[in-house]
Amino acid sequence: MNVKGFRFSAVEAAIKKPGRLDLALICSDAPAAVAAVYTTNKVKAAPVLLDMERTTSGTCRAVVVNSGNANACTGDRGMEDAREITSLVAERIGAPEHEVLVCSTGVIGVPLPMERIRGGIAPLVAGLGSATLDQIAAAIMTTDTFPKLEARTGTAGGVGYTIAGIAKGAGMIMPNMATMLAFIVTDAAVDPQWLDRIFRRANDTSFNAITVDGDMSTNDTAIIMANGAAGNPVLSEGSEGAAEFAALLEEVLLSLAKLIVKDGEGATKFVEVTVKGARSDADAKRAAMAVANSCLVKTAFFGQDANWGRIFAAVGYSGADVEPDRAELFFDDVRMVQGGVFAGGDAEARGTGVLRKKEFTVTVDLHLGDGRATVYTSDLSYDYVKINADYRT
């Protein structure tokens, strides 16, 4: 997968285990409009803090990414290292330093192996154009089991363009940006301010609507670059083709978000949790997230136990307005709860049948209003514990 006006490179810098790509570069031939969203964790990694400063300029030439080390909780040295990486890349591609961003993912609290990274940057830049976006997706993985790539094509003013994105995740996934990196590139010409608005909106219904384990990372970042190489008329609010572009962007982000959940550490189930009939969308989101984050609910999913009581309890403690005697609960189309009590009949057996599937839906109807929200989650398995118990070893 390639996108006009962008070049990619990935090398093995021995940051991770031998034989794995771990240093990647995404480079636009011309300055690109940029928008980004970051972790809301108050403990932010050095690269996050640096990128937050730089993306306010609205333009970007390149993003360099390392995996295997988060460069988080590393003090002044961490920021110095992040700046040095961007300086080395900027010098070699002929760009202002403020137009180069850096992202890191991996173990927290360990300084970057800068000698290895310095040694990797020259071949990284020299190799621009030698890698595909698929290879970049592989280079940014940590505990992921497969690369995550999505793309869509559209037209604006009769000119075709591409939106392509990659992401990594697997663990520490919780809305408001958790351990997750995502990079979206498009050759469409897009107004920077409008790009920022639609990117944030798309993020709210995708990356901020997933959870694997409820943990929030220090490093999570999602960046979009639009370089205009397609040559279309600039897309902006209300312009021809703008609605299509925004919809395609949402599709790319949501598809990537779902792939992250499906590849959650130890995950065997993919579950779509919808709460509707709430007093407000915010109430619906609170209730849905409480269900999606509940360890008791997630272990019931793993055990294929139609334990609707755990779900009902999570909705009740979520902080959302709930009148239990009005509520309904469904596994797919199987009604488990009606009027706040067990639906009876063969609901237990049919509900258990739903939970045996690898993918299914949980729907709670509160019958209080028009509020609605959907989030995506996984089960919680034995392997999740094993993976995270052994992470640093």
DSSP string, 306-354: --HHHHHHHHHHSSS---GGG-EEEETTEEEEETTEE--TTHHHHHHHH
Q: Please say if 179 is a catalytic residue.
A: yes
Q: How far is CA 371 from CA 195, 280, 281, in A?
A: 27, 4, 4
β-sheet bridge partners, residue 26 = 8, 63
Judged on CB neighbours under 10 Å (0-12, 13-18, 19+), 310 is middle
Q: Residue 96: which of 47, 52, 62, 65 has the closest Cα?
A: 62
Per-residue HEC secondary structure of 84-123 comes to HHHHHHHHHHCCCHHHEEEEEEEECCCCCCHHHHHHHHHH
CB atoms within 10 A of CB 119: 15
Name the token pair of 296: 């008791």
Residues 227, 209: Cα–Cα separation, whole Å: 28
Residues 121, 117: Cα–Cα separation, whole Å: 6
Residues making up the chain, counted from first to last? 393
Report the relative pairing of strands 159-168 and 181-186 from DSSP bridges: antiparallel
Name the token pair of 45: 């990694």
Report the relative pairing of strands 59-69 and 181-186 from DSSP bridges: unpaired
The overall longest dimension of the chain from CA atoms, in Å, is 71
One-letter amino acid of 323: E
Token pair 């779509």 is at which residue? 272
From 86, 142, 143, 179, the catalytic residue: 179
CB atoms within 10 A of CB 130: 13
Q: Where in the sequence numbering do the catalytic residues fall?
A: 179
